[in-house]
Amino acid sequence: MPREILDPKKIHTSIQKIVSEQHADIIAEVKEAIANNTIVIVGMAQNPAPKRARKVLNELNIDYHYLEYGNYFKEWRRRNALKMWTGWPTFPMIFVKGTLIGGSSDMRALVDTGELDSLLNSD
């Protein structure tokens, strides 16, 4: 299910470097966290959804790594790079064993059906 992105041939050579390097640091940081942790929650301050997701995992005694980038008033451009990279439009972004499972309500649904346990116990 690849999503459509602009063909690199349609990006003028004078701006290709800007496009390819724009906020690459935040994407690299998230990729590293995903590679080194079973569950990663990427959120932002003042947003209740990441807090809900963390609360659920805390109540279930499930370890996770949390990354927080800005709030509603700052760092939105950096967060936008993550949205473009994943295709996921909101925060939190929750990864389980390297797979994006969605946000807080998506994770809650997986908990309720037992699928989160299955994901965590799969190879």
Q: Is residue 1 pLDDT above 70, yes or no?
A: no
pLDDT above 70: percentage of residues in the chain? 99
Query: What pLDDT does residue 2 have?
Result: 80
Distances (CA, A) of 32 to 38, 63, 98, 123: 12, 17, 10, 20
Query: What pLDDT does residue 123 have?
Result: 76
Q: Is residue 3 pLDDT above 90, yes or no?
A: no
The domain spans of the chain are 17-121
User: Which parts of the chain fold into alpha helices (H)?
Assistant: 16-21, 24-36, 48-59, 76-86, 104-113, 115-121
Closest by Cα among 75, 71, 62 to 107: 62
Indicate the pLDDT class of residue 70, thresholds 50, 70 and 90: very high
30 contacts 82 by C-beta, under 8 angstroms: yes
pTM: 0.92
When pLDDT is averaged across residues 63-88 and rounded to a whole number, the result is 95
Q: How many CA atoms lie within 13 A of 20 on its CB side?
A: 10
Q: In which residue are the tokens 């939190």 written?
A: 92
The CATH code that applies to domain 17-121 is 3.40.30.10
